[in-house]
Chains A and B, each alone.
Chain A
Amino acid sequence: MKKILILMIFSFLAVSLMLFFMQINSSKSSMQSISGDYYLTSNAKDFNIPNVVTSIVTQYRGYDTIGEITILFLSIIGVFMLIKTTGFSEISKLLQEPGTIVHTATVILFPIIMLFGAYIIINGHLSPGGGFQGGAIIGSGMLLLFLAGDKKELNRTATHIVESISVSIILLIGLLGIYYLNAFFANFLYSLGTFGSIISGGIIPIIYILIGVKVTVEFFHLSEYLLRS
C-alpha cells in the first residue's frame, strides 16, 4: 500500500516536471541562451580553437574547473579516511590468480589504452575529448594491471608528488595571468601557433594536460584503494 502511494506521488511529479520543461522549451524555440551566444561569437577572437566546449571549461568558466578538481580531491580524501588500509601484499590473496588469456590480453592492450588516453588528452582543444575523459581512460586502464596480477609495490610518494605539482602549476599559470594581463587565468600565450594545430590556443592545452595528469592520478589512487581496502 505504501509502495503504491509512493509510486503514485512520483508519477504525478514526473508528469508535472515533464509539462514544466516542455513549456520552457516551447518558449525558447530555436534560440541560443545569452551566454552561449556570447561564448560562440567571441571564441574565435579570444582563443582561436575549434572546440568551444573546451574553451568554456578551461577559460570562460575556469573557476568551475578549479572547484571541480577540489571536490574530486576532497572526496578521495574522504574515502582514504573512511577505511583502514591493508598492506599491499594482501592483494594477491584477495584476487584470484589470472589466467593466460587475461595476462596476454593485458600485455597487448595496456600500451594501446595508454596511447589512446594520451591522444585524447592532447587533442582536447581540437576534437571532442580532454583531460577528464583521457584521465579516466588511463586511470581505469591501470586497473587492468592489478587484474593481471602485477605484484609490484606502488611508489605512493611519486604519485603524490606528481599530483601536487600538477595542481600547483595550474594555479601558477593562473597567477601568471594576473601578472601579464591583470586577470586570473588570462590567456597570455594567445598568439602561439595557427588555428587547428596542436600548439595553439595558448595556455588551454597546457591546462588540459595538467588536469589530465591530476585526474589520472586521482582515479588510479581510487582504483588501487578499492583493492587495498
Chain B
Amino acid sequence: MLEITITLLLTILSITMLIYIFLTKDIITAAIGTALISLFASILFLIMKAPDVAMTEAAIGAALSGAIIIGVIIRIKKEHR
C-alpha cells in the first residue's frame, strides 16, 4: 500500500513538473525541472527493486547531466550579453 501511495505521488509530481517545463519561458528553470524528474525517477527505480539503477540515475542523470545542461546555458547567456 505504501508503495502505491509513493508511486502515485511521484507520478503526480512528474506530471506537474512536465507541464511546468512545457509552459515556462526560462530555460534554466526547465533544466532544474529535468534534474528533479530524474530524481523522482531514481526513487521510482528503488521501488522497482533496482538499487543499482537508482544509484546511477541519482549520480549521473540528476547531478552530472543537470550540471552540464546548466553550465552550457550559463555560457550561452554570458556570451549573449
Q: What 1/0 flags go to A92-133 for Cβ under 8 Å of B? A: 001000000000000000000000000010000000111011
Q: Does A53 contact B (CB under 8 A)?
A: yes
Q: Does A185 contact B (CB under 8 A)?
A: no
B: interface residue count bin = 10 to 19
Q: Does A223 contact B (CB under 8 A)?
A: yes
Which listed residue, A54, A94, A133, A222, touches B78 by the CB 8 Å rule?
A: A94
Interface size on A, residues (CB 8 A): 21
Residues on A lying within 8 angstroms of B by beta carbon are 51, 53-54, 94, 120, 128-130, 132-133, 136-137, 139-140, 143, 219, 222-223, 226-227, 229
Nearest chain A CB to B29 CB, angstrom units: 20
Q: Does B6 contact A (CB under 8 A)?
A: no
- Please, could you name 21 A-B residue pairs with CB atoms under 8 Å apart, sorted by A? A120-B55, A128-B51, A128-B52, A132-B56, A132-B60, A133-B55, A133-B56, A133-B59, A136-B56, A136-B63, A139-B64, A140-B59, A140-B64, A140-B67, A143-B67, A219-B64, A223-B67, A226-B67, A226-B72, A226-B75, A229-B75
Q: How far is the CA of A175 from the CA of B40 in the complex (A)?
A: 41
Q: How far is the CA of A140 from the CA of B67 in the complex (A)?
A: 9
Q: Could you tell me the dominant secondary structure of chain B's interface residues?
A: helix
Nearest chain A CB to B32 CB, angstrom units: 16
Contact, CB under 8 Å: A226 / B68: yes
Which listed residue, B59, B67, B68, B72, touches A137 by the CB 8 Å rule?
A: B59
